[in-house]
Amino acid sequence: MIRMAKAAVRALLRRFDVDLRRYSDTIRSRRADILEENGITLVLDAGANVGQYATSLRETGYAGRIVSFEPLQAAYAELEKRAASDDAWECRHMALGDSDGLAEINIAANSVSSSLLPMLPRHLKGEPASSYVGSQEVTRRRLDSLSSELVGDTDNVYLKLDVQGFEMQTLRGAAGTLEGVRATEVEMSVVPLYEGQALWHEVIAYLYSLGFELAWLERGFTDENSGRILQLDGIFVRGS
């Protein structure tokens, strides 16, 4: 009877394009497990936007340090407000990449799709609200230039990247830091969405070359019209 009731509820929800999933089968829950399994004491949150990711970490029980990086002025202002009451959550107003200096970031109408790279038509077709509406000069730093002031000798580090096509540049700018990283979470594109970006298989190959193994993979950004997967979210852990 319970099984029939669950099936009926799922059928009803599907009529409204809603699906039920076990909490344990989501990246949110698997991330929480990996943080605990690896004794993570520091999460480096690159591409924090207004703090959605860090807020989710707190909601799932992570109580350690968080350092969030966000280059956009408006998003950073909101990020600071969210973090103000959390003594273990630090914010840095900058982008991460493979060089230190100034850069021009393209501002998307939806904010979250903003990127240091030009956007390709495939992205705009999949999400019309992601169109660029302006640009802004921002500070760009290599994570390796910052790690000595952020990472302690006894820290177990989790690196999260949501940097809109700038994944490989950010990873290369963190080559030294990655030697001490226990796990990393990366948003990866299946098809070219930004000019000059690395695709999912290139990012995976690079991380494997550094000793990481894929622990979780989940569908991310999809085309509104076709339903095709455009981005994946992957979690990689240091191999044993």
Q: Model confidence over 173-199: pLDDT tens digits?
A: 999 999 999 999 999 999 999 999 999
The C-alpha atoms of residue 3 and residue 138 are separated, in whole angstroms, by 54
**Is 22-102+140-238 in CATH node 3.40.50.150?**
yes
- Identify the CA nearest to 48 among candidates 188, 162, 187, 186: 162
Q: What SS3 class is residue 86?
A: coil
Dihedral angle, C-alpha 79, 85, 89, 90, nearest 10 °: 60
Q: Which residues of the chain carry a pLDDT beneath 50?
A: 1-2, 5-6, 9, 13, 16, 18-23
Reading across the β-sheet that carries 181-189, which strands appear in turn?
89-92, 65-69, 42-46, 157-161, 181-189, 231-238, 212-219
- Tell me what pLDDT residue 226 has: 86
Element (H, E) at 145: helix 143-150
User: Max CA-CA distance within the chain?
Assistant: 63
What lies within 8 Å, CB to CB, of 194 at 6+ separation is 115, 117, 118, 119, 120, 123, 164, 165, 166
- Tell me what pLDDT residue 11 has: 56
Q: What is the DSSP letter of 141?
A: E
Residue that is written with structure tokens 């930004």 in the block: 194
Joined tokens for residue 215: 């622990």
Question: What predicted TM-score, i.e. pTM, was given to this entire model?
Answer: 0.88
